[in-house]
Amino acid sequence: MDFTLSEWVNLAGEGSLADAAVKQQAEETGMTVEAVRATMHSHLCCMQEAVQSGLDEKLRSVSGLSGGQAALFLKRMQEGKLLGGRLLGKAEVYAMATAECNACMGKIVAAPTAGACGILPGTILAMMEESDVSEEQAVDALFVAAAVGQSIATQASISGAEGGCQAECGSAAAMAAAALAYLEGGTPQQCADAAAFAIMNLLGLVCDPVGGLVEVPCVYRNVGSCGVAFTAADMVLSGIRCPIAPDEVILAMKEVGDALPASLRETGDGGCAACASVRARLKANTL
C-alpha cells in the first residue's frame, strides 16, 4: 500500500511512525516483524561497510573524478577543524565516503537511489557514533525514512532523470530529516514537517552529472544535503511548524520536476555538465 505523508501521520496516531512502517511492511510482505527488522538491520550493516570502504585514501573511480576525498575530509574532522562541529562533520564525511564508494563501484544501499546514497547513512551513522543512538533506534529511524521515501516516490519521483536532483538528493535529505527528527523525539507530524522543510530547501535542484557519471556534482551534493537534513530537523524540534502541508510540498516538487528541461534531467547536457572546462577535458579525454 502507498501512503501520503498525512496518511502515515494518521496511521501512526499517538504511536510511533517507525512502528507503523514496520507493521505495514510486515503486512505487505507477509514477513514477521522480527524478519522485517532483521532485513533493515542488514541494510544498516551494509551502510557501515560502504563508509569504511569509501574512507580508503587509495580509492579512485575509473574516471579519476572521485575517490580519496572522504579520507581528506576525515583527517580534518579528526583534527577538530570542521566548521560545523563533530556531529554534522561526521555525517558529511560519511556521506562523502558512501557516495565515493558508489562512484568506485562498491556496494551501497540505494537510499533512495545510488546517486543520493550518502545522505541517510551519513546522518544515521553519525548519530550512532556521536549521539548515543543504539542499533535498534537506528533501524527504527531507517523505517521512518523509508515511509517518507515511499510517499515521495509514489506522489512525485525519486529519479533524477524524471525530476532532477531535487528528486534524488532532495528526497534523501527529506528521509534523513524525518529520521533525525524521530531520533530526537519528534512526533510523526514533526517528522513529516522536517521532510517538507528539507524538500523546500532543495526544490528546483537540477540533475547535471558531468560526463553522465554519477560523481560530479553528485558526491558533493550528498555532503551538502546532510546540512539541509540537520537544519530541517532542528527547525521542527524547535517547535516551528511547516506552513505548507508536507504532501503539498511533495506535489510542488513533482510540478517543478515536470517543468525542468531535458538538459537538466540527467542527460549531462546542462548545469555543471555544460561548463566549458569540463567539456574541454571530456573532449581531450583528460577528465
Binding interface with ligand SF4 (CB under 6 A): 115-116, 160, 165, 168-169, 207-209, 214, 217-218, 221, 266
Task: Please report how close the Cβ of residue 131 comes to ligand SF4 at its closest, in angstroms.
Answer: 27
Least separation in angstroms between residue 119's CB and ligand SF4 is 10
Residue closer to ligand SF4, measured from CB, 47 or 214: 214
Across-strand partners of 265? 207
Nearer to ligand SF4, 93 or 214 (CB): 214
**Quick one: 115 or 186, whose CB is closer to ligand SF4?**
115
Beta carbon of residue 217, minimum distance to ligand SF4 (angstroms, whole number): 6
Cβ distance to ligand SF4 smaller for residue 40 or 260: 260
What is the closest distance, in whole angstroms, from the C-beta atom of residue 151 to ligand SF4 in the complex?
Answer: 19
Q: Which residue has the cell 556531529?
A: 87
Of the candidates 78, 121, 82, 83, the one whose C-alpha atom is nearest the C-alpha of residue 99 is 121
Cell numbers that stand for 54 in this block: 569509501
Minimum distance from CB of 207 to ligand SF4 (Å)? Answer: 3
Q: Rounded to whole angstroms, how far apart are CA atoms 87 and 94?
A: 11
- Minimal distance, residue 11 CB to ligand SF4, in Å: 30
Give the Cβ contact number of residue 79 at 10 Å.
8
- 17 vs 214, which CB is nearer to ligand SF4? 214
**Are the C-beta atoms of 118 and 99 separated by less than 8 Å?**
yes
* Closer residue to ligand SF4 (CB): 146 or 218: 218
Shortest Cβ distance from residue 158 to ligand SF4 (Å)? Answer: 9
Nearest to 16 by CA among 175, 234, 182: 182
When the beta carbons of 37 and 221 are compared against ligand SF4, the nearer one is: 221
Q: Compare residues 19 and 224 and give the one whose CB is closer to ligand SF4.
A: 224
Q: How far is the CB of 28 from ligand SF4 (least distance, A)?
A: 27
**Under 8 Å between Cβ of 2 and 24:** no
